């Protein structure tokens, strides 16, 4: 993106710099380069104010699963706006789209999940899950079970509680986080963290031993839940190694620790099944979801809980007179209507069978990137993947984090007309809309491969 360093005072860029505080953005760099203003979208493509069209290789932020400009979702929103533009779910009130959506979600939920609570974002959903854990254990006469274990490199949101579980420095530095209820066990990143000669199963067993040692040191009677993404998205598209959740889940059961599956990225077909929990063998007590729930067309998220947790929450609420938690926009009728139509379109258009059909070709194109010297590891499942960079070929040695190698490669891809995202383990993620065709997959990766010789040259220069 070649933009001048100064802008006309009345330009959109100047007005944005003057008045808009951006999330996850370096303000000083923004003042120099200006924002890229996305103006329109169609399918897997978005077009900026300069008229340049890009393949959106990250579905926005892992979320626009049905692509951009889906008329059916626009119509669902408009129709509901005309009928009832807002109502709430407090004091026993509700709206028809919320009832229909709750029923639809439980129908497709992993076995054992019985009730739904609606929020507005993944962060809010995970915050709500934490509060439900505390509320449930208090109802069971164990109010001291307050601590929650997440994993290093895990991403669970940016509200105060959720950011405490997000074990990535950029979400905690400067904020005085994490809070002391949050514990962080080892990341299941086999490529980066396995010992020499250690098999995936041996690595998983070692992580299980480390988790149990943490539980014993803290005291199981102080630990309420373990939260995990089925695969770790923003931390680097990190797949669980062989046997990982088979090792972890019995330990949690043994110590009466609830399992929260954070399906904010994995849910709704991303891994080739409706849920990442299906793909990787999780049996959660609580499941959080957002993003593709409405294909990101309107903000909505959900927390699904088991019958056991729901019963505990309801019994406690009866004792106290009410369940004292909720948001003004919980189960807002317009996002609920859009989410419901999203679920219907996924079934009508056989989105998950389509993902399964194109996933092998997607995985093959991701794997081909491994032939470049700067790529140490590639990985993919369904329609999500990553390439992880190294400073020396055939090694795990990384570039100095200060050079932000992945971010520089991301810019090279941008010049080729593909929007991607640099990830904390010096990787680049791929997460295109689920509607992408084999031909579009080839177009996307042909453009990426076209810039990879420049990435190799840059790596040699920095090494």
Which domains does the chain carry? 36-69+350-462 (3.90.1150.10), 72-348 (3.40.640.10)
Q: Which helix (H) or strand (E) holds 46?
A: strand 45-48
- Rounded average pLDDT over 164-193: 96
Q: Report how far apart, in Å, the C-alpha atoms of 107 and of each of 116, 343, 429, 434 are.
A: 11, 11, 31, 22
Residues 6+ apart with CB under 8 A from 403: 462
Torsions phi, psi of 386, nearest 5?
-160, 155
pTM of the model: 0.95
In 80-177, at which residue ranges do the beta strands (DSSP E only) sit?
113-119, 147-151
Q: Kindly list the strands in the beta sheet with 301-306, ordered across the sheet, starting from the edge strand earlier in the chain.
A: 113-119, 301-306, 286-289, 258-262, 223-228, 147-151, 182-185
Statement: residue 3 has pLDDT above 60: no
Q: What is the DSSP letter of 90?
A: G
- Mean pLDDT for the chain? 96
Can you name the residues that pair with 42 across neighbouring β-strands?
A: 45
Can you name the residues that pair with 148 across neighbouring β-strands?
A: 182, 225
Q: Are 284 and 93 in contact (CB under 8 A)?
A: no
d(CA 28, CA 49): 22
Specify the range with the lowest mean pLDDT, choosing from 27-36, 132-141, 339-348, 450-459.
27-36
- Rounded average pLDDT over 81-104: 97
- Residue 400 CB: number of other CB atoms within 10 A? 10
Q: Which helix (H) or strand (E) holds 59?
A: helix 59-62
Reduced to 3 states (helix: H, G, I; strand: E, B; else coil), residue 225 is strand
Q: Which helix (H) or strand (E) holds 52?
A: none
pLDDT at residue 2 in the model:
44
Q: Which helix (H) or strand (E) holds 320?
A: helix 307-320
Q: Report how far apart, in Å, the C-alpha atoms of 87 and of each of 12, 102, 209, 298 are.
A: 34, 16, 49, 16
Statement: residue 5 has pLDDT above 80: no
- Rounded average pLDDT over 206-232: 98
d(CA 275, CA 107): 13
75 prior amide bond cis, ω within 30: no
Statement: residue 306 has pLDDT above 60: yes
| Residue that has been written with the tokens 């959506």 in this structure | 101
- Rounded average pLDDT over 393-414: 96
Q: Rounded to 5 degrees, what angle do the CA atoms 252, 164, 204 make?
A: 35
Can you name the residues that pair with 428 across neighbouring β-strands?
A: 387, 422
| Residue that has been written with the tokens 């909720």 in this structure | 326
Q: Which of 198, 258, 196, 248 has its CA nearest to residue 224?
A: 258
Q: For residue 71, what pLDDT band results from cuts at 50, 70 and 90?
A: very high
pLDDT at residue 463 in the model:
82
pLDDT at residue 255 in the model:
97
d(CA 398, CA 418): 24
| Helix and strand element counts for the chain (H, E) | 16, 15
Q: Are 257 and 223 in contact (CB under 8 A)?
A: yes
pLDDT at residue 6 in the model:
67
pLDDT at residue 186 in the model:
97
Q: What would the two tokens of residue 237 be? A: 């598209």
Q: For residue 407, what pLDDT band results from cuts at 50, 70 and 90?
A: very high
């Amino acid at each position: 993106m070649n933009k001048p360093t100064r802008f006309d005072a009345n330009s959109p860029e100047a007005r944005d710099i003057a008045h808009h505080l951006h999330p996850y953005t370096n303000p000083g760099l923004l003042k120099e380069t200006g924002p890229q203003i996305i103006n329109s979208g169609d399918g897997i493509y978005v077009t900026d104010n300069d008229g340049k069209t890009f393949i959106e290789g990250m579905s926005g932020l892992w979320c626009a699963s049905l692509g951009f400009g889906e008329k059916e979702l626009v119509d669902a929103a408009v129709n509901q706006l005309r009928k009832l533009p807002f109502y709430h779910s407090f004091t026993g009130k509700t709206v028809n789209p919320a009832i229909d959506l709750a029923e639809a979600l439980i129908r497709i939920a992993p076995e054992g999940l019985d009730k739904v609570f609606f929020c507005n974002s993944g962060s809010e959903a995970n915050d709500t899950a934490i509060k439900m854990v505390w509320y449930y254990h208090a109802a069971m006469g164990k109010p001291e079970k307050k601590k929650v274990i997440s994993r290093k490199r895990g991403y669970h949101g940016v509200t105060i509680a959720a950011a405490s579980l997000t074990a990535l420095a950029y979400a905690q530095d400067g904020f005085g986080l994490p809070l002391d209820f949050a514990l962080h066990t080892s990341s299941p990143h086999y490529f980066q963290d396995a010992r020499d000669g250690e098999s995936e199963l041996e690595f998983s067993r070692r992580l299980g031993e480390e988790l149990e040692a943490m539980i014993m040191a803290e005291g199981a009677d102080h630990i309420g839940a373990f939260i995990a993404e089925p695969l770790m998205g923003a931390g680097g598209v990190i797949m669980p190694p062989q046997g990982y959740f088979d090792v972890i889940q019995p330990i949690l059961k043994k110590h009466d620790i609830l399992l929260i599956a954070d399906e904010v990225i994995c849910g709704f077909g991303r891994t080739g099944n409706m849920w990442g929990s299906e793909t990787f063998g999780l049996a959660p007590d609580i499941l959080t979801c957002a993003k593709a729930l409405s294909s990101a067309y309107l903000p909505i998220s959900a927390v699904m809980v088991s019958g056991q947790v729901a019963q505990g929450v309801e019994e406690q609420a009866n004792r106290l007179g009410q369940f004292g938690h909720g948001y003004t926009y919980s189960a807002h009728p317009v996002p609920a209507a859009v989410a419901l139509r999203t679920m219907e379109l996924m079934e009508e258009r056989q989105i998950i069978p389509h993902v399964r059909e194109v996933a092998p070709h997607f995985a093959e194109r991701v794997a081909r990137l491994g032939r470049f010297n700067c790529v140490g590891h590639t990985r993919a499942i369904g329609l999500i993947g990553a390439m992880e960079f190294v400073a020396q070929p055939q090694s795990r040695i990384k570039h100095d984090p200060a050079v932000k190698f992945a971010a520089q490669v991301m810019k090279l891809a941008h010049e080729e007309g593909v929007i991607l995202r640099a990830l904390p383990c010096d990787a680049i993620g791929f997460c295109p809309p689920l509607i992408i065709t084999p031909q579009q997959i080839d177009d996307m990766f042909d453009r990426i491969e076209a810039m990879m010789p420049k990435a190799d040259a840059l790596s040699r220069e920095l090494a």
